[in-house]
Amino acid sequence: LFSFSVNQTSCSPQPRPGTQSLRAVAGTNFTSLEAGSAKRDPDAGRGGSPPLSASRDHQEVPAQLHAGSRDSPLEERLGSLNRVGRLALPGASLSKLQALFSHPLYSLPRPPLQDDDWLLKVKPKVKDSNRDSTQDWLSDSEEGYDAAQWNSSTESHPPWLRFHLAISRWQLYDRKDPNLQALMEQLATHRIVSAVQKPGGTQLKLVMSFPNYGQALLKPMKQERDAETDFNLFYFSDFERHNAEIAAFHLDRVLGFQRIPPVAGRLINVTREIRDITTDRKLARTFYTSPVGNVCFYGQCSYYCSTEHAVCGRPFALEASLAVMLPDLSLAGRRTWRSPWRRSYSRSKLAQWEKDPDYCSKVKKTAPYDRDTRLVDLIDMAILDFLMSNMDRHHYETFEKFGNNTFLLHLDNGRAFGRHSRDEPSILAPLKQCCRIRRSTLLRLHLLSLPQFRLSDIMRESLSQDRLAAVAPLLSQAHLSALDRRLAAVLQAVRHCQERHHHLGSNEVIYNDIVGYSSNDVMAGL
């Protein structure tokens, strides 16, 4: 019916899904503030720009942020953030999360997207002979799947395909895209037609398929929510946690990154939704019933796939995380990068960054960290990882198509949120050693440290939207409190950097990613 073209042609940009109602998230107070004055951005129809409000109340805010940024001390800027915070909460009708996402810092203007800033595009194919053979194949061999009647029109696309088609050079998804809701709903509720093991990686995970050909990566619950990782366990031996995958997605979104594929929690029926339907014989062979009558399996993998580490239903119900699959590698190849701050993964050796106090200045001179935003993107990732105490970020990935000038995918967060009683300062090494941070990130972190937006409250609210929150909160209060404590530590690290580099001016520490737009652009945009 159609095919993807990764090589861009000279066609004009396709309209993107979900950009028609970009304002949907604005809450009641903002809606009334904006009523009548909100104009659609001419680029919005292409998904090129975030929702832009022309409200006068909003115009004052970025002006403060903008003007205060270059030379005023941080406290002064925090003061203006405080005013912004209050502005965003005029009554009680906006939840904290809604108020946060309505804040101008979550709708910063981005450069308009060009044709080659989209990962994929639909290329209509009209040959009738192809169409017939595709349909025959669908109905003959794909039992349990819906007949696909997709064409080049967005309306005909299932949520997972809309998600794929909306991936851009700068983010995996647009937070305000209404398709996201549909996508999460699919992950959490759609019938599962197939479950097979995903080869590669160290721990058990399954690829689940839905009737509309969507797929998700499943990680099962392996331990109780608030079990703390044994202090003596090496980080590379830690179990993965399904709730960490879910919470990491929420945290990444709350930080305004949009670099983790959407993840939803779900109670899986181990018998009906895995054992009875799997075509993976190696997986099927590992099922058994435990002495208390629970259905268990352990699969095949290089770590923890044995009867000692079986995954069990109660008696059939199993908590799991389902992450939406990224486009197949044949359509959108990815490049894997070794993190310069990777741990040594040896019990006896230290990594170079642990020994060399001048390590960052070398990294800064090495491609691709020597240009564009790669270094500050890596530091964003380190901040995310420090907040959730993920020590396992040995590699990261990017989409090949976008070259070096693109966002970093934060995949594999299963080893985060293992410990709440301690922080792991070494995760912040990239920030502390390089003393560099995106201004947009820093301002959002400040916002999340204010009582009216407190990170732990925001995360509690965000996670309460997940279906598994009905079983038990996805992060215990101890983990939520740790987030606030760690956020304060990140801000302290930045302050320390600013003191150290005081003589060089604040631009030395703060990478100003909000300039590049003229003052007028910002005024019009916010």
Binding site for Mn(2+), by residue number, is 240, 412
Residue 262 interacting partner from ligand ATP, Mn ion, none (CB closer than 5 to 8 Å by kind): none
Q: Is the Cβ–Cβ distance between 274 and 197 less than 8 Å?
A: no
Q: Segment contacting Mn ion (CB under 5 A): 44-52, 282-290, 363-371, 408-416?
A: 408-416
Q: Residue number with the shortest CB distance to ligand ATP?
A: 201
- Rounded to the nearest whole angstrom, what is the least distance from the CB of residue 259 to ligand ATP in the complex? 12
Residue 242 CB partners (closer than 8 Å, separation 6+): 219, 220, 221, 222, 265, 319, 320, 321, 414
**Can you tell me the distance from the alpha carbon of 462 to that of 471, in angstroms, rounded to the nearest whole number?**
15
Q: Is 171 in the site for ligand ATP (CB under 6 A)?
A: no
Q: How many residues bind Mn ion (CB under 5 A)?
A: 1
Residue 248 interacting partner from Mn ion, ligand ATP, none (CB closer than 5 to 8 Å by kind): none
What distances in angstroms separate CA 377 from CA 307, 404, 406, 511, one per listed residue?
Answer: 41, 11, 9, 11
Burial 21-47 (b: 16+ CB within 10 A, else e): ebbebbbebbeebbeeebeebebbebb
What distances in angstroms separate CA 507 from CA 52, 193, 321, one per listed residue?
Answer: 27, 53, 41
**Can you tell me the distance from the alpha carbon of 481 to that of 226, in angstroms, rounded to the nearest whole number?**
13
Q: Is 207 in the site for ligand ATP (CB under 6 A)?
A: no
Residue 398 interacting partner from ligand ATP, Mn ion, none (CB closer than 5 to 8 Å by kind): none
From candidates 174, 280, 412, 466, binder to Mn ion by CB under 5 A: 412
From candidates 203, 339, 373, 390, binder to ligand ATP by CB under 6 A: 203
Q: Segment contacting ligand ATP (CB under 6 A): 46-54, 196-204, 459-467, 508-516?
A: 196-204
Peptide bond into 315 cis (omega under 30): yes
Instruction: Kindly identify the residues of this chain, within the stretch 414-433, that bind ligand ATP according to CB under 6 A.
Output: 414
**Can you tell me the distance from the alpha carbon of 282 to that of 266, in angstroms, rounded to the nearest whole number?**
24
Q: Is 120 in the site for ligand ATP (CB under 6 A)?
A: no
Q: Is 323 in the site for ligand ATP (CB under 6 A)?
A: yes
Residue found by looking up tokens 């909100």 in the block: 38
Residue 94 interacting partner from Mn ion, ligand ATP, none (CB closer than 5 to 8 Å by kind): none
Q: Name which of 200 and 357 has its Cβ closer to ligand ATP.
A: 200
Instruction: Kindly identify the residues of this chain, within the stretch 34-63, that bind ligand ATP according to CB under 6 A.
Output: none
Catalytic-residue membership of 392: yes
Catalytic residue among 177, 280, 385, 392: 392
Complete DSSP assignment for 333-388: -EEEEE-TT----SSSPPPHHHH-TTHHHHHHTSTTTTSTTHHHHHHHHHHHHHHH
Residue 262 tokens read as 């959407």
Q: Is 385 in the site for Mn ion (CB under 5 A)?
A: no
Q: Name which of 410 and 438 has its Cβ closer to Mn ion.
A: 410
Q: How many residues bind ligand ATP (CB under 6 A)?
A: 14
**Can you tell me the distance from the alpha carbon of 511 to that of 514, in angstroms, rounded to the nearest whole number?**
9
Instruction: Kindly identify the residues of this chain, within the stretch 224-243, that bind ligand ATP according to CB under 6 A.
Output: 240
Q: Is 265 in the site for ligand ATP (CB under 6 A)?
A: no
From candidates 319, 377, 385, 412, binder to ligand ATP by CB under 6 A: 412
Q: Segment contacting ligand ATP (CB under 6 A): 59-67, 80-88, 118-126, 200-208?
A: 200-208
Residue 350 tokens read as 């230290």
Q: Segment contacting ligand ATP (CB under 6 A): 153-161, 279-287, 341-349, 407-415?
A: 407-415
Instruction: Kindly identify the residues of this chain, within the stretch 283-312, that bind Mn ion according to CB under 5 A.
Output: none
Q: Name which of 398 and 498 has its Cβ closer to ligand ATP.
A: 398
Angle, CA of 224, 227 and 232, to the nearest 5°: 140
Residue 145 CB partners (closer than 8 Å, separation 6+): 138, 193, 209, 211, 212, 213
Q: Which 3 state secondary structure label does DSSP give 232?
A: coil
Residue 343 interacting partner from ligand ATP, Mn ion, none (CB closer than 5 to 8 Å by kind): none
**Can you tell me the distance from the alpha carbon of 486 to that of 494, in angstroms, rounded to the nearest whole number?**
13
Q: Is 338 in the site for ligand ATP (CB under 6 A)?
A: no
Residue 351 tokens read as 């990594």
Q: Segment contacting Mn ion (CB under 5 A): 157-165, 229-237, 411-419, 480-488?
A: 411-419
Q: Which amino acids are annotated catalytic?
A: 392
List residues binding ligand ATP (CB under 6 A): 200-203, 205, 217, 240, 261, 323, 325-326, 411-412, 414
List residues binding Mn ion (CB under 5 A): 412
